[in-house]
Amino acid sequence: GQQVMQIPQYQHVQEGEDFTTYCNSSTTLSNIQWYKQRPGGHPVFLIQLVKSGEVKKQKRLTFQFGEAKKNSSLHITATQTTDVGTYFCAGRAGTYKYIFGTGTRLKVLA
Amino acid sequence: NAGVTQTPKFQVLKTGQSMTLQCAQDMNHEYMSWYRQDPGMGLRLIHYSVGAGITDQGEVPNGYNVSRSTTEDFPLRLLSAAPSQTSVYFCASSQGTGRTEAFFGQGTRLTVV
């Protein structure tokens, strides 16, 4: 079945450093979404990527969808303490099901 | 705006007991789903529904039942609780069938002893 892996599992950074999490699917995806979950909270939608090679930016966050539509990345420039949380990708492969990655937990040290 | 409402927020069950986790949304969304979240495992899809009367299995459906008699409600039933079902459960809904953002409920933290 479809699998979505995410690396790294954990990342500790100093405030102001950059951060990147990678998402890899075992199958070609129709689209991919990214979510953020604050500690003790629920996942909150960040963005959706649909086209091969697509790049989208939200302030300090840059999202990319691979050319083969099997991988994606989220890059945060100059992290802030408000970026703390777990970042999940969720991929859909032609069905109604979204399969979530295992998530990357980000800790930002002030 | 209520969004997606899950009840209860916390629950402790004894092994073998059954219970229903409630999920309701007020956004007239067609698509609803249930996930469980365990440490290091991310969010795993249990069951989902693309509309009233239509449900299907996700990645980890064993031990769980769902039904969708109305657009608004999507309850998750644990038939005979087991310690392996100790987890945080999230319900989510979205408009349409795939290309829109999912809205998550606050979660239900379930412990089976």
pLDDT digits 0-9 by tens, B75-110: 999 999 999 999 999 999 998 766 789 999 999 999
Kindly list the residues from chain A whose CB atom is less than 8 angstroms away from the CB atom of residue B97: 96
Q: What are phi and psi of A5, to 5 degrees?
A: -105, 145
Q: Where are the alpha helices (DSSP H) in B30-84?
A: none
Closest residue on chain A to B38 (Cα): A102
Q: Are B31 and A99 inside 8 Å of each other by CB?
A: no
In which band, very low, low, confident or very high, does the pLDDT at B40 lie, cut at 50, 70 and 90? confident
Instruction: Pick from B36, B43, B48, B57 the residue to mutate for testing the A interface (most A CBs within 10 Å).
Output: B43
The pLDDT score that the predictor gives to residue A94 is: 65
Q: What are phi and psi of B110, to 5 degrees?
A: -110, 130
Strand (E) or helix (H) holding B35: strand B31-38
Token pair in block for residue A71? 């991988």
Q: Is B3 on the interface with A (CB under 8 A)?
A: no
The pLDDT score that the predictor gives to residue A13 is: 97
Return residues 46-65 of B near A (CB < 8 Å).
48, 50, 56, 58-59
Which of A52-56, A61-65, B38-42, B46-50 has the weakest average pLDDT?
A: B38-42
From A31, A99, A102, residue closest to B40, measured CB to CB: A102
Weakly modelled stretches of chain A, pLDDT under 50: none
Q: Is A42 on the interface with B (CB under 8 A)?
A: yes
Kindly list the residues from chain A whose CB atom is less than 8 angstroms away from the CB atom of residue B43: 43, 88, 90, 100, 103
A10-14 and A104-109 strand pairing: parallel
How far is residue A40's CA from residue B95's CA, in Å, rounded to a whole number?
26
**% pLDDT > 90, chain B:** 88
The pLDDT score that the predictor gives to residue B98 is: 63
